[in-house]
């Protein structure tokens, strides 16, 4: 907080010197004026906590000076204490108060009284400053709250739109199929479209959950060893099909001095580049995409360069904003979250993403990641197949009929014997009558009775040899570990992916 100013006005320099010396340690700047005119000029140029004004001065006395100060909006709130040696009559004091004074000091001045009175005005000034600062902070906080509220409203509005769009397609197609309103030769095409739309909706919900966790600060990264060349070769092989459909090339260029072993969250690193490369594939019409990897200044630097039409300068600053899309983005089926999530993930890894683009030449996304090197050789992991397993017996426990029905159809298609239970209690009753199950699929959340974790704990007391796979919509960081630690043997996220389903089944039974 800046030192406050005190103005002393007296036509005699020795009086000003005496007053100033008595207030040396008061904690304020002492500014002096030798006349009323000089005092008026100083008061118009600077702010003062209090003015000590001599009454008897030539040309313009203290009363006149005070009256002028009180008539001006910029100076009328400055408290004035008159300093005088004339009599202390009520008439003099009344005239002083009428001209704008708040107090009087009579000569000879008692230094203790002087300091006490000045200290009161300094204390009031400091309190006012604190209140002003608090008011400013409250204003800023209110602006942040309003901004957050607007952002939340925009987020919910966009989220509602993005979710309702694929839901509308799924609902419309299912109605056409249910009422036989669609031509028979188009039913398979409609089913394919509904499956693609449901995958898009699942991806969108996953992105929304990721974005919400990042925004709320609850997102956690794992740290595991991985090999750079393996990660990117796997990633590009997944995206190669999309590139082939548009006759585009996908090139990987890893500079020779780049380390291959790192520690980090390989799943989220794949997510970053799946979003970036996938985004390029949507917009590039000819040519292709080159991924160049280097290691500079202890940072992993990856450039994703395409040969597309480029991005206008006006849009470059907006492309990393959540749900920010132009017409081309919406036409190509984007959610408007991929780049925003990629940027935040890179920042969580101690890096950043920048973009440069030239119209009609292409765009380059540059990603920096701060990752620890891993010099320990990674042993090859056993690849688990996801081909179906046939002719087994399973107990499917889920309180939602549709969930049981879908899983039952998948299993029965492979000639499984499937028994259903709608609750944990019913599952326990069935297991008291028959124990020849090869596998139990257990929903985690089943109100109002026993949940999946509690039911599994009871089953494991008497039938520990039967594997239990958790069926759940809980897909946050740590959920899988939590369910496995509770005694479950496998973990599947709803909606169930058949590839992941058979991979878990093979891991546990074959």
State yes or no: pLDDT of 200 exceeds 80: no
To the nearest whole number, what is the mean pLDDT of the chain?
Answer: 88
How does residue 509 score in pLDDT terms, banded at 50, 70 and 90?
very high
pLDDT, residue 475, reads: 76
Pairing outcome for strands 80-84 and 101-106: parallel
pLDDT at residue 25, as a whole number: 87
Quick check: helix, strand or coil at residue 350? coil
List b or e across 338-362, with b for residues whose CB sees 16 or more CB atoms inside 10 angstroms: bbbbbbbbbeebebebebebeeeeb
pLDDT, residue 462, reads 95
Give the Cα separation of 304 and 286 in Å (integer).
16
Average pLDDT for 122-134:
88
Average confidence (pLDDT) over 236-251: 91
What domains appear along the chain, each with residue ranges and CATH number?
A: 5-109 (3.40.50.2300), 158-216 (1.10.287), 224-373 (3.30.565.10), 393-509 (3.40.50.2300)
Query: What is the C-alpha separation between 242 and 274, in angstroms, rounded?
Result: 12
Q: Is the pLDDT of residue 478 over 90?
A: no
More confident of the two residues 35 and 180:
35
- pLDDT category at 335 given cuts 50, 70, 90 is low
Average pLDDT over residues 195-212: 80
Give 167's pLDDT tier (boundaries 50, 70, 90).
confident
Distance of CA 196 to the CA centre of its chain: 29
Selected residue with higher pLDDT from 149 and 75? 75
What pLDDT, on a 0 to 100 scale, did the predictor assign at position 270?
92
* In contact, 171 and 198? CB cutoff 8 Å: no
Return the closest-CA partner of residue 251 out of 225, 224, 284, 297: 284
Choose from 233-247, 331-345, 429-443 the range with maximum mean pLDDT. Answer: 429-443
Best CA proximity match to 65, nearest among 55, 74, 50, 79: 55
Residue of 419, 470, 481 lying closest to 442 (CA atoms): 470
Q: Give the pLDDT confidence score for residue 94 in this predicted structure.
A: 78
Tens digit of pLDDT for each residue in 412-439?
999 999 999 999 999 999 999 999 999 9
Give the lowest-confidence range in 63-77, 101-115, 137-151: 137-151
* 148 vs 266 pLDDT, higher one: 266
What six digits make up the tokens of 210? 């990721």
E-state strands within 438-488: 439-443, 468-472
pLDDT of 392: 95
pLDDT of residue 325: 56
Q: Is the pLDDT of residue 330 over 60?
A: no
CB atoms within 10 A of CB 175: 11
Element spanning 346, H or E = helix 338-348
The pLDDT-based confidence of 173 (bands split at 50, 70, 90) is confident
pLDDT band of 204, cuts 50, 70, 90: confident
pTM given for the model = 0.58
Q: Find where tokens 């002096």 sit.
A: 32
Indicate if the pLDDT at residue 332 is higher than 60. no
Confidence of residue 46 (pLDDT cuts 50, 70, 90): very high
**Which carries the bigger pLDDT value, residue 91 or residue 316?**
316
Confidence band, pLDDT 50/70/90 cuts, at residue 45? very high
* pLDDT score recorded for residue 1: 65
The confidence score (pLDDT) of residue 190 equals 87
Instruction: Read off the tokens for 375.
Output: 């010099």
Is the confidence at residue 157, as pLDDT, over 80? no
CA pair distance 488, 24, nearest whole angstrom: 78
pLDDT reported for residue 371: 92
For residues 35 and 59, the answer to whether their CB atoms sit within 8 Å is yes
| pLDDT on residue 129 | 87
pLDDT higher for 53 or 93? 53
The span from the CA of 364 to the CA of 52, in Å, is 68
Which H/E stretch holds residue 352? strand 352-358
Token pair for 1: 């907080």
For 98-110, write each residue's pLDDT tens digit: 887 888 888 888 8
Q: Which tokens belong to 175?
A: 């109605």
396-406 tens-digit pLDDT: 999 999 999 99
Q: Would strands 362-369 and 352-358 be described as parallel, antiparallel, or unpaired?
A: antiparallel
pLDDT at 92: 75
- For residue 459, the SS3 value is helix
pLDDT tens track for 1-28? 678 999 999 999 999 998 898 998 888 9
How many Cβ atoms are within 10 Å of 126's Cβ, its own excluded?
A: 14
Q: What is the pLDDT of residues 76-126, one digit of tens each?
A: 889 999 988 776 677 777 788 888 788 888 888 888 899 998 999 899 888
Q: What is the mean pLDDT of residues 329-342?
A: 67
pLDDT of residue 222: 86
Q: What is the DSSP string of 210-269?
A: HHHHHHHT------EEEEHHHHHHHHHHHHHHHHHHTT-EEEEEE-TT---EEEE-HHHH
Comparing C-alpha atoms, which of 439, 442, 462 is closest to residue 452? 442
Banded pLDDT at 243 (limits 50, 70, 90)? very high
């Amino acid at each position: 907080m800046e030192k406050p100013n005190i103005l002393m006005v007296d036509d005699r320099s020795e009086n000003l010197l005496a007053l100033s010396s008595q207030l040396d340690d008061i904690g304020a700047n002492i500014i002096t004026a030798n006349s009323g005119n000089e005092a008026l000029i100083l008061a118009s140029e600077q702010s003062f906590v209090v003015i000590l004004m001599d009454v008897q001065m030539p040309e313009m006395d203290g009363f006149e000076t005070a009256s002028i100060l009180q008539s001006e909006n910029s100076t009328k709130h400055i408290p004035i204490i008159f300093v005088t040696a004339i009599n202390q009559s009520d008439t003099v004091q009344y005239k002083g108060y009428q001209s704008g004074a708040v107090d009087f000091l009579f000569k000879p001045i008692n230094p203790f009284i002087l300091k006490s009175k000045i200290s009161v005005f300094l204390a009031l000034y400091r309190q006012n400053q604190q209140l002003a600062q608090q008011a400013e902070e409250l204003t800023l906080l209110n602006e942040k709250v309003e901004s957050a509220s607007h952002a939340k409203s925009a987020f919910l509005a966009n989220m509602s739109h993005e979710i309702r769009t694929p839901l509308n397609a799924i609902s419309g197609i299912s109605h056409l199929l249910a009422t036989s309103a669609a031509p028979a030769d188009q039913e398979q095409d409609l089913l394919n479209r509904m499956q693609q739309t449901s995958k898009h909706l699942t991806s969108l919900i996953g992105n929304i959950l990721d974005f919400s966790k990042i925004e709320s600060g609850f997102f956690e990264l794992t740290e595991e060893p991985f090999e750079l060349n393996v990660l990117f070769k796997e990633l590009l092989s997944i995206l190669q099909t999309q590139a082939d459909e548009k006759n585009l090339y996908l090139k990987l260029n890893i500079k020779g001095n780049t380390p291959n072993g790192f520690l980090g969250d390989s799943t989220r690193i794949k997510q970053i580049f799946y979003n970036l490369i996938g985004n390029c594939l949507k917009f590039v019409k000819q040519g292709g995409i080159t991924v160049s990897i280097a290691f500079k200044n202890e940072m992993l630097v990856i450039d994703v360069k395409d040969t597309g039409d480029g991005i206008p300068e006006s849009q470059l600053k907006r492309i990393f904003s959540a749900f920010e899309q132009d017409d081309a983005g919406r036409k190509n089926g984007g959610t408007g979250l991929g780049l925003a999530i990629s940027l935040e993930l890179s920042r969580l890894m101690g890096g950043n993403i920048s973009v440069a683009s030239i119209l009609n030449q292409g765009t380059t996304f540059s990603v920096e990641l701060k990752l620890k090197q891993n010099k320990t050789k990674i042993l090859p992991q056993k690849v688990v197949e996801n081909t179906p397993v046939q002719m087994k017996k399973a107990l499917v426990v889920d309180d939602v009929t549709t969930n049981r029905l879908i899983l039952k159809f998948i299993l029965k298609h492979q000639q499984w014997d499937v028994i259903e239970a709608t609750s944990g209690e019913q599952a326990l009753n069935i297991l008291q009558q028959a124990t020849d199950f090869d596998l139990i699929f257990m929903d985690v959340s089943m109100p109002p009775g026993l949940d999946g974790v509690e039911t599994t704990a009871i089953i494991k007391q008497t039938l520990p040899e039967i594997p239990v796979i958790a069926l759940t919509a809980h897909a946050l960081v740590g959920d899988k570990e939590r369910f496995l630690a509770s005694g479950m043997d496998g973990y599947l996220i709803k909606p169930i992916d058949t590839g992941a389903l058979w991979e878990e089944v093979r891991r546990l039974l074959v």
